Chain A
Amino acid sequence: MSAREPTVPFFSGAASIRRDWAELEPRIREITARGVFTCGPVVAELEAAVGAYTGARQAVACNNGTDALILTLRAAGIGPGDEVIVPAYSFFASASCVLHAGAQPVLVDVLPGSYAMDVERAAAAITPRTRAIMPVHLFSQTADLVALCELADAYGLQVIEDSAEAIGMRVERPGGGHRHAGLWGRAGVLSFFPTKTLGALGDAGMVLTDDESLAAAVRRMRVHGDGGAYHWQELGWNSRCDELQAAVLLTRLARLDEDIARRAALVELYNARLASVGPAVATPWQAPAKRQSNLVWYVYLIETDRRDELVAHLAEHGVGTEVYYPRPLSRQPCLRSLPGASQPVPVAEAASAHAVALPLYPDLTHEQVDRVCDLVAAFHGASRGSAAS
């Protein structure tokens, strides 16, 4: 890239922190004066606030989204000899959490467009050892939770949602009204990884559930299984949430709906600009199936045949991208020996070959979106499209 070209990082949150600083600073001063830096009153306040935002009766903060999944599975009693059905297209933690609980992940293919677990594939994967189905809600919408819950009910299985990316996603209930992602089955999780729709300045995560006893078990296990005064009840580890991360999250939660709207506006801009590039670039699936959630744009994912070349071209011009995900879980070196890992997952394979995420975050400017789209258009040799403001 030439020195004059403006860069577009894959993620930046610095401007948001400057915006929020006047609210954040007094919170940080309070934490420092109190001297409690892990799992203190600010974490409790965050748990109450996220509980109110999502409608979860219990929200239990922990160190990260992966731990939230492991804690949930263990608290749900899933362990050795059990199978959990997981989509083959996801972040690694969707499968590793099952292994860390001592159970076996059974990987099934996803649907094109939504990248969510294919309900028919899930049904076909049920065995006498299946204990749970774990749908993952990727990028901008949920899996078909109504159908998956019906399937789970029919076989007496638990639904545990990897809703790490799904804050703000709500699904219409068959009886009317909406329910937030993560609350359709036994429990769900949130990740507050810095780039997430609600992101911290480091690792943090949360378990969401209406199940009081599951929440109580997670609360114990996140502090070494301590039932109080160093009486260790069950196997746990250290998975506490830091107070400083909770302060950042509380501050940002107050503006979360604004941030979600800002993301949606940027997506419209991307869609309009990339439409002119033509069929070489597939913009994200726009019409959620009837029983999927509203769109909350955590990630703007396009598909294109010359993905790796495009990534290199954008990097050369200072634009960051991420390949979510470069291979199906069944082709990760450490998961290849899983039973069933050799089953074909053609939809996951195709997505792995073609998908790439473009920069999307509230601090991104219209000019930066234009710049990214200009570079994508130039790469595909298309007309440069109309210049947006």
Chain B
Amino acid sequence: MTATLTYHGWDRRYGAAAADEVLAVVREVAESDEFILKSRALALETAIAARTGAAHAVACASGTGALTLVLTALGIGPGEEVITPAFSFVASASPIALVGAKPVFADVDEDTATLDPAAAAAAVTVRTRAVLPAHLFSCAAPMASLRALADRHGLALVEDSAVSLGALVDGRAAGRHGDAGVFSFYPGKPLGGIGDGGMVITDSEPLATAVRMLRNHGQDLAVRFLHHRVGFNCRMDELVAGYLLRALPRLDGALASRRALASRYESRLRPLAPAVVPPPAGFGGRFDGRSVYSYVVRAADRERLRAHLLRRGVQTAVYYPRPLHLQPVFASLGYRAGAFPVAERLAATSLALPLYPGLTPSEVDRVCDAIAEWYS
């Protein structure tokens, strides 16, 4: 009986050497008496700005927080609409509702599972203020088309690039295609922290300044306890920043090992199509194959395949079992089943396979063998 292969493999992501590194960061931060948004967060902002080429990088508490800060800084609120994909993680849509605006869903492209520009265009109304596409799993949204759409209608473009740090989209750093982009440093991400963290990048100085103010209770950037705006507590801890500074030089290596694992999946699973459909070749092309986050396949008999894999000791995950427009949280928006057929089909068929640095090629083979067995 082989051991169960867990989906996340958390206990294999950080080894004994990592413990020494984490201990060193904790001790160093404690000795410095600098805890929140101090020298390490500033250094990380500088490093991420340099890496992406963005004029400004602003560290905050999470990727979700980053999106909420950007929408607030853009002045988006009640009575206004923001167009976002019907198939994504909830945080592509919830910040829109949190700032009091209305998420307007649009269907996604079948291959890449990212916002379909034609569907987005059809969703524009006089109340639309912004378009908020998300790069999902390992595919990039079509930013050039969406930029053109936003420009045509005078809309803001906010790039949910939470999963895409280190990737290029059509040759330009992910996160730099809209008015602002965001990154998440959730521990599962390619550059994962030792706690939650996020970042806003933008070339707009007024937007960056507004986000800096809003992340710390709307306080004046120089005068403590003087609050210009109703801001949030959405700050990055020095512990997280200190670790990320050490881990950032390893990002390209982490992305390369994810790519190698994804290639192995691709070569083993492609022959099984269309029973099981791997992600599009080259992940749709726009990322130039540089960014691999989750490896999500599609299978018409997803639930039975999933049960079979579990019997073979392979855990999987379902991203996401229900599209956003049919989630209870958005029930009041009044969408019905059938509104976004692609999103609904993806929700019924998508299955995420284990993929993380430290997963071995033979474990990928084990997953693929079990899938092949099911379809033999």
Give chain A's interface residues, CB within 8 Å of chain B.
9, 11-14, 17, 21, 24-25, 28-29, 31-38, 63-67, 91-93, 96, 99-100, 102, 194, 200-203, 224-227, 229-238, 240, 242-245, 248, 322-323, 325-327, 332-335
Contacts and interface: CB of A to CB of B under 8 A. Distances in A.
A231 B226 contact: no
B96 to A, nearest CB: 10
Interface stretch (B297-305, B313-321, B363-371): B313-321
B206 interface: no
Contacts, number: 190
Contacts of A237: 62, 64-65, 68, 91, 94-95, 98
A230 B319 contact: yes
B83 to A, nearest CB: 19
Interface of B: 9-14, 16, 18-19, 22-23, 26-27, 29-33, 35-36, 61-65, 68, 90-91, 94-95, 97-98, 100, 186-187, 193-196, 217-219, 224-233, 235, 237-240, 318-322, 327-329
B65 A238 contact: yes
Contact of A35 (B10, B27, B65, B320): B10
The 5 closest A-B pairs by CB, nearest first: A202-B237, A242-B195, A35-B10, A17-B30, A66-B233
Contacts of A226: 90
Contacts of B35: 194, 200-202
Nearest to B64: A238
14 contacts: A29-B19, A33-B11, A35-B10, A38-B195, A64-B235, A202-B239, A224-B91, A224-B94, A232-B90, A237-B68, A243-B195, A244-B194, A245-B239, A322-B224
Contacts of B229: 334
Given A66-B232, A238-B64, A244-B26, 17 more contacts: A17-B27, A28-B26, A32-B19, A35-B10, A65-B233, A93-B233, A96-B230, A100-B230, A225-B329, A230-B318, A230-B321, A231-B327, A235-B329, A242-B195, A244-B195, A326-B225, A333-B226
B22 A28 contact: yes
Contact of B327 (A13, A63, A232): A232
Contact of B225 (A99, A229, A325): A325
B329 A202 contact: no
A65 B11 CA distance: 30
Contacts of B23: 25, 28-29
Nearest to B13: A35
The residue in A21, A203, A236 that gathers the most chain B C-beta atoms within 10 A of its C-beta is A203
